[in-house]
């Protein structure tokens, strides 16, 4: 960080649970929220990356499979028991496996697995976080959806897209239901981000990446830190009137018809 970089300390004393914090957007967000003063609970299925992330940010690692209700409940219980609160839940873990493709070729097993990890997990995390937030009378839940929740693609990943649509609708409904209890729930909709998840998908097929890049007005994919900055805003009181939102951080993709040459 250069001397000129303003230091934001909006989350001092707040406790944040981040699922999928061992990699990509989750890892960048763990770093950002910790730098703003939050206690960070790193929840991930991958023990080695999760532990490394927790160590780096001075937080706590809890191993979790986000599709397992008891394990998810244990994450939020541990956060509360350790730090005395659950102020921020960034429900972010997700997968995008190659078996999930066109509806014509995607089998039921692949469909169900993606629904479990991307959508059922968000239901379980919100269900586990809300009792703590209701008791506190405050909280910010940020659920990672995607820009594909609001736009169609001919390059389909049918279950992924449907799962993110579900995350978007669920977040909106929860944001409305719990608004008068001091709890905000927003759906974060990132555009394509340079993370292992995306790199893995495009490494085998550069044409696939190029076909997508042409639709991004800013002409590049996002860096994870740019998404983390949006999460920090949604987590903090700076976004106190942002609720039940479809929070696009997509470099203008969803607003574009013709992009610059």
Ligand X SMILES: NC(=O)c1ccc[n+]([C@@H]2O[C@H](COP(=O)([O-])OP(=O)(O)OC[C@H]3O[C@@H](n4cnc5c(N)ncnc54)[C@H](O)[C@@H]3O)[C@@H](O)[C@H]2O)c1
User: What binding mask, one character per residue, do residues 209-248 give for ligand X by CB under 6 A, x or -?
Assistant: ----------------------------------------
Helix (H) or strand (E) holding 147, with range, is none
210, exposed or middle or buried, with CB in 10 Å at 0-12, 13-18, 19+? exposed
Who contacts 6 (Cβ-Cβ below 8 Å, separation ≥6)?
A: none
Residue (163 or 239) nearer to ligand X, CB: 163
Shortest CA distance to 184 belongs to which of 169, 174, 193, 194? 174
Stretch that binds ligand X, among 7-15, 18-26, 32-40, 251-259 (CB under 6 A): 18-26
Closest CB 135 distance from ligand X, rounded Å: 25
Residue (139 or 251) nearer to ligand X, CB: 251
Find out whether 130 and 183 touch, Cβ atoms under 8 Å: yes
Residues within window 51-70 making contact with ligand X, judged by CB under 6 A: 64-67
User: What binding mask, one character per residue, do residues 142-161 give for ligand X by CB under 6 A, x or -?
Assistant: --x-x---------------
Residues within window 73-132 making contact with ligand X, judged by CB under 6 A: 92-96, 117
Is position 160 annotated as part of the catalytic site? yes
Position of tokens 């692949």? 110
195 binds ligand X (CB under 6 A): yes
Tell me the CA distances in angstroms from 45 to 16, 21, 75, 135, 240, one per residue in order.
17, 10, 12, 28, 32
Shortest CA distance to 79 belongs to which of 67, 92, 61? 61
Query: What distance in Å separates the CA atoms of residue 238 and residue 242, rounded to the nearest whole number?
Result: 9
Catalytic residue, from 123, 132, 160, 257: name it: 160
17 binds ligand X (CB under 6 A): no
Interface contacts to ligand X, rule CB under 6 A = 19-20, 22-26, 44-46, 49, 64-67, 92-96, 117, 144, 146, 190, 192-193, 195-198
């Amino acid at each position: 960080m250069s001397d000129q970089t303003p230091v934001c300390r909006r989350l001092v004393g707040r406790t944040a649970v981040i699922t999928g914090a061992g990699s990509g957007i989750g890892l960048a967000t763990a770093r950002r929220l910790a730098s703003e003063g939050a206690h960070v609970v790193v929840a991930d299925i991958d023990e080695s990356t999760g532990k490394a992330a927790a160590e780096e940010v001075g937080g706590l690692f809890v191993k979790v499979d986000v599709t397992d209700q008891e394990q998810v409940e244990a994450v939020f219980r541990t956060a509360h028991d350790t730090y005395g609160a659950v102020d921020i839940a960034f429900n972010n873990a997700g997968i995008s496996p190659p078996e999930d493709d066109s509806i014509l070729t995607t089998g039921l097993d692949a469909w169900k697995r993606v629904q479990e990890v991307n959508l059922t997990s968000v239901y379980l995390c919100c269900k586990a976080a809300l009792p703590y937030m209701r008791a506190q009378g405050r909280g910010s839940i940020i659920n990672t959806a995607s820009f594909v929740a609001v736009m169609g693609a001919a390059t389909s990943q049918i279950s992924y897209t449907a799962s993110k649509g579900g995350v978007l609708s669920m977040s909106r409904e929860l944001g409305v239901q719990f608004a008068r209890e001091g709890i905000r729930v927003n759906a974060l909709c990132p555009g394509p981000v340079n993370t292992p998840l995306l790199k893995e998908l495009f490494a085998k097929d550069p044409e696939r990446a190029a076909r997508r890049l042409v639709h991004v007005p800013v002409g590049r994919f996002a860096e994870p830190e740019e998404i983390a900055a949006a999460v920090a805003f949604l987590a903090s009181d700076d976004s106190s009137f942002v609720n039940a939102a479809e929070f696009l951080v997509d470099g203008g993709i969803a607003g574009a018809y013709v992009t610059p040459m």
